[in-house]
Chains A and B, each alone.
Chain A
Amino acid sequence: AQSVTQLDSQVPVFEEAPVELRCNYSSSVSVYLFWYVQYPNQGLQLLLKYLSGSTLVKGINGFEAEFNKSQTSFHLRKPSVHISDTAEYFCAVISGGSYIPTFGRGTSLIVHP
């Protein structure tokens, strides 16, 4: 069975600082990995996805993530955050015979001025 662990429920950071949101998955087969962002009172929006190929994936709004198969991780990074990045971030995985994504519990990114 696939599962996703987002290690931090909340990450506070100052504006213009770098940030990393951690995501680990459990699956013994090939995976598709996703990061979604949810702004207050809105639905989830796809930030980036890893399907195959290069392990470094670039997404919208300056975010990127690196797929690390040996560590079963897919951490999300941004070199310099803005106040407008304050949101909930969800990691999701599709693996094996399942075609339904499993979502992590989410990480709340709080950017302070």
Chain B
Amino acid sequence: DSGVTQTPKHLITATGQRVTLRCSPRSGDLSVYWYQQSLDQGLQFLIQYYNGEERAKGNILERFSAQQFPDLHSELNLSSLELGDSALYFCASSEGTSGWQFFGPGTRLTVL
């Protein structure tokens, strides 16, 4: 158990819909990272927040957005969903702004 929690574990929705994925980092960790893992793209970094502020942006689509709240949990919002958004979405956390990360168990999103 890494100490990072993600909800829900599974999510099935339809194209065009909007969903919210939630992540709670390890106790004491200030950074939260979001990744998308798919068979064709591998593990892709989406975005990082550090202590409530956006720190780094990766290959995140404009339809996606994220935020980190004062209690340090984070949410990833995916809107206007397409079939190609079906993937595993991982959250990870670290103590500082970089370094090794602890991953959550992931949320499996299926868009039908």
Contacts and interface: CB of A to CB of B under 8 A. Distances in A.
A10 to B, nearest CB: 14
A100 B90 CA distance: 15
B42 A99 contact: no
A99 B56 contact: yes
B48 interface: yes
B interface residue count range (under 10 / 10 to 19 / 20 to 34 / 35 or more): 20 to 34
Given A106-B42, A106-B43, A99 B100 contact: no
Interface residues of A, number: 19
Interface of B: 2, 4, 33, 42-43, 45, 48, 56, 58, 90, 92, 97-106
A46 B100 contact: yes
User: What is the interface of chain A mostly: helix, strand, loop, or mixed?
Assistant: strand
Interface stretch (A14-22, A37-45, A63-71, A72-80): A37-45
Contact of A90 (B33, B43, B58, B98): B43
Contacts of B92: 44
A93 to B, nearest CB: 12
Top 8 A-B residue pairs of the complex, sorted by shortest distance between their CB atoms: A99-B98, A43-B103, A44-B103, A103-B43, A105-B42, A43-B105, A100-B56, A43-B106
